[in-house]
Amino acid sequence: MTRDELAELFQREWQPSFFVVGRYDNREREQPLSIMKFSREDSPLSTEQELFDLRFSRINAIQALGYRAYGQRFDFSHTIPAILAVYSATAAEQLDSSRVPVKVAGRIQTIRRMGKAGFAHLQQSGERLQVYVKKDLVSEREWALWELLDLGDIIGVEGYLFRTRTGELSIHVETLTFLSKNLLGMPEKYHGLEDVEIRYRQRYLDLIANPDVHRAFATRAKVIASFRRQLEARGFIEVETPMMQPLYGGAAARPFVTHHNTLDIDLYLRIAPELYLKRLVCGGMERVFEINRNFRNEGISTRHNPEFTMLEFYQAYADYRDLMDLTAELLKNVALDATGSATVPYGDLTLDFSSIRRFTMREAVCEFWKGPDKPSMDNVRDPEWLSRHAGKLTPGECLVDIFERHCEEALVQPTIIHQYPVEVSPLAKQNPDEPGMTDRFEVYAAGMEIGNAFTELNDPDEQRRRFEMQLAMKERGDEEAHQMDEDYLRALCYGMPPAGGEGLGIDRITMLLTNSKSIRDVILFPLLRPEGPIGIAGWLRESSAKHLGK
RNA sequence: GGGCCGGUAGCUCAGAUGGUAGAGCACGACACUUUUAAUGUUGUGGUCGUGGGUUCGAGUCCCACCCGGCUCACCA
């Protein structure tokens, strides 16, 4: 587009349009709006576009009444949730005698017109309050506006609280104003929006139609706030470390790759913040945490989204046992802060976060073994027994494999599993009494892994050996094996205080606390394939040309 | 990536064996000054996910593809 074309476009599209303020012409309303439906000679509109066009045409009618179809600021006195919180138990007589004046804004969720009066439900933050509009009590102009309103429009009302004959708390409207026009059909009022694809793609519609969704994301915010508050209270400071990393590490996963143009280098979206956070521990940030996204280029499922939120924290001079105690405390308080109770329903289950069981991985295998021939502790220590029951190369990998197949799904109540084999724990410190095992634990609930923690390996030479072991595994074809990170080794060479570190999956914990069976129900915009052309710009262009002459 | 299930009006859903595509909500018109899934009368609304094929005839049967869900694999 040339500069002249751009100038012309600006002239055409953004000339201020004539705007009627405070005048109301009765003749305007004698023209039924529907006659405009097929005024264009060319092909008839689709039903949805017809509805869109009808609603668009009301912009003119709204403006003719002296309102803005897309209004400006509105000085409300209360939010709808605030009114409900304070007055939902107040008796009708008390409301009548005290005459509580309120001014609120909200989206029209239902509308019931009855001749010269009517009711509507306004929604704000997932909560609804009824308003009652009576012709006698509002101006002629406001009544005309009331008659023009569509479901989904956003309006402001001013009036006083009362209870209807059936006892519902409502606003008796004295003044009415228009704030924003809805142009599209709203989801069905009774069933709400059920189509999961639309729910995830158009989360705004899901939020409008399904109040539970708003609640779930409010709970998610409480989960994060609770962790943050608890950690800060213990002297942890919050940091942000790189999401774009030249070397990825801190977990076993395949990364996303991106490119920086000016530097002409490939970068990886981080799979974990771990190695950066531990550099900070080396630097003297002795209690540090980060709540942010990790990216893993792997499958998508009800428990996995390619980007997910993790809390990671590190505490110098602590070990994994300190973290077990801390984890139990953190989770109990998060459940309390987010739901008001340490026991929460999850599907058919009730999860109790007030106490967390602990097993070593070997104990768990003995305890939860599926089928006959329950192994003994001697069995699960025996490399031969292990390799008979799993097809992995090393005893440690076999143990983990057996654990995952036999135990994971049995870990319904919040449970800590500790003592992980060194082969699968390249960054964890070995157990002093048994070098094949590390002082590491994972937290499980509802059969899902929700956390991972260990005493951090701070011996640079041992870390060097671990990296080299990982490189050997990579040679062998393990795509998720760790890379060598020499800057991290260098940091360890300056001496890192002994420390415990932990990662907790925020999305999964939120699933448990919101009774969500899919991670997509606790991520506002989960990754989906792109949906293809939408066509709404064309509708706007056509209706705009027809009704606004531009 | 594999297996299973699904895609019909703007939304929620019916459509045995192949024979003119339905309901409720929403939307338009009329009535109605405390309703609440408001109500009554009435009307409009569809390329049945897309593309091929079989057939006199396909929403329905066959093939391919697209999108989604569940599940397995992988992972947290």
Other CB atoms within a 10 A radius of the CB of residue A540 amount to 13
Mean pLDDT over A73-90 rounds to: 96
Look-up of token digits 């699933």: A511
A190 Cβ contact partners less than 8 Å away, ≥ 6 residues apart: none
CB proximity A483–strand B (7 Å threshold)? no
Is the model more confident about A34 or about A118?
A118
Q: What is the spatial distance, in angstroms and rounded to an integer, between the CA atom of A14 and the C1' atom of B32?
A: 44
Q: A257 in helix, strand or coil?
A: strand
Residue-level pLDDT at A319: 96
Answer yes or no: is pLDDT of A26 > 50: no
CB proximity A505–strand B (7 Å threshold)? yes
Structure-block tokens of residue A64: 């003719």
Q: A218 in helix, strand or coil?
A: helix
Mean pLDDT over A378-388 rounds to: 91
Question: Closest nucleotide to A295's CA, by C1' atom?
Answer: B76
In chain A the first and final C-alpha atoms are separated, in Å, by: 19
Look-up of token digits 């403006």: A63
Q: A173 in helix, strand or coil?
A: strand
Look up the protein residue whose alpha carbon has the minimum distance to the C1' of B28.
Answer: A34
Assign A175 a pLDDT band (cuts: 50, 70, 90).
Answer: very high
Cα-based angle A138, A140, A142 (whole degrees, multiple of 5): 60
pLDDT in tens, A327-378: 999 999 999 999 999 999 999 899 999 999 999 999 999 999 888 888 999 9
Interface predicted TM-score (ipTM) of this complex, two decimals: 0.92
Distance CA(A124)–CA(A109), nearest Å, equals 10
Mean pLDDT over A173-187 rounds to: 95
Residue-level pLDDT at A482: 87
pLDDT in tens, A252-267: 888 999 999 999 999 9
Amino acid at A176: L
Q: Which of A179, A145, A146, A174 is nearest to A158 (CA)?
A: A174
Answer yes or no: is pLDDT of A290 > 60: yes
Answer yes or no: is pLDDT of A35 > 80: no
Instruction: Please state, rounded to an integer, the average pLDDT across all residues of chain A.
Output: 90
Answer yes or no: is pLDDT of A458 > 90: yes
Q: Which residues in window 268-327 of A are less than 7 A from strand B by Cβ?
A: 296, 298-306, 308
Look up the protein residue whose alpha carbon has the minimum distance to the C1' of B69.
Answer: A196
Residue-level pLDDT at A41: 31
Cβ burial of A502 (10 Å; 0-12, 13-18, 19+) is buried
Residue-level pLDDT at A244: 95
Q: Which residues in window 62-81 of A are less than 7 A from strand B by Cβ?
A: none
Assign A299 a pLDDT band (cuts: 50, 70, 90).
Answer: confident
Look-up of token digits 């960054």: A427
Mean pLDDT over A10-36 rounds to: 43
Distance CA(A506)–CA(A513), nearest Å, equals 10
Answer yes or no: is pLDDT of A36 > 50: no
Query: With contact defined as beta carbons under 8 Å apart, do A241 and A230 qualify?
Result: no
Distance CA(A233)–CA(A287), nearest Å, equals 11
pLDDT in tens, A219-235: 999 999 999 999 999 99
Assign A23 a pLDDT band (cuts: 50, 70, 90).
Answer: very low
Residue-level pLDDT at A42: 36
Answer yes or no: is pLDDT of A20 > 70: no
Residue-level pLDDT at A12: 65
Q: What is the spatial distance, in angstroms and rounded to an integer, between the CA atom of A201 and the C1' atom of B23?
A: 28
Residue-level pLDDT at A403: 93
Q: What is the spatial distance, in angstroms and rounded to an integer, between the CA atom of A170 and the C1' atom of B40?
A: 26
Question: Closest nucleotide to A193's CA, by C1' atom?
Answer: B11
Mean pLDDT over A236-241 rounds to: 97
Q: What is the spatial distance, in angstroms and rounded to an integer, between the CA atom of A151 and the C1' atom of B29?
A: 18
Residue-level pLDDT at A528: 92
Assign A477 a pLDDT band (cuts: 50, 70, 90).
Answer: confident
A436 Cβ contact partners less than 8 Å away, ≥ 6 residues apart: A395, A396, A421, A422, A430
Query: With contact defined as beta carbons under 8 Å apart, do A396 and A432 qualify?
Result: no
Mean pLDDT over A443-450 rounds to: 94
Other CB atoms within a 10 A radius of the CB of residue A237 amount to 12
Mean pLDDT over A402-419 rounds to: 92
Q: Which of A5, A130, A57 is nearest to A540 (CA)?
A: A57
CA distances from A480 to A64, A249, A370, A476 (A): 65, 10, 29, 11
Query: With contact defined as beta carbons under 8 Å apart, do A58 and A148 qualify?
Result: yes
Other CB atoms within a 10 A radius of the CB of residue A30 amount to 7
- Three-state SS string over A129-171 comes to EEEEEEHHHCCHHHHHHHHHCCCCCEEEEEEEEEECCCCCEEE
Q: What is the spatial distance, in angstroms and rounded to an integer, between the CA atom of A444 and the C1' atom of B75?
A: 15
pLDDT in tens, A188-205: 999 999 999 999 999 999
Q: Residue A478, Cα to own-chain centre: how many angstroms?
A: 32
Mean pLDDT over A29-57 rounds to: 56
Structure-block tokens of residue A254: 């395949």
Beta-sheet pairing, A256-260 with A101-114:
unpaired
Other CB atoms within a 10 A radius of the CB of residue A527 amount to 11
Residue-level pLDDT at A423: 87
Question: Closest nucleotide to A190's CA, by C1' atom?
Answer: B37
CB proximity A196–strand B (7 Å threshold)? yes
pLDDT in tens, A510-531: 999 999 999 999 999 999 998 8
Chain B bases closer than 7 angstroms to a protein Cβ: 1, 9-13, 24-39, 44-47, 66-76
Answer yes or no: is pLDDT of A14 > 70: no
Other CB atoms within a 10 A radius of the CB of residue A198 amount to 15
DSSP per-residue codes, A15-43: SPPP---S---HHHHHS-GGGGTT-SSSS
Distance CA(A426)–CA(A252), nearest Å, equals 9
Cα-based angle A193, A76, A78 (whole degrees, multiple of 5): 75
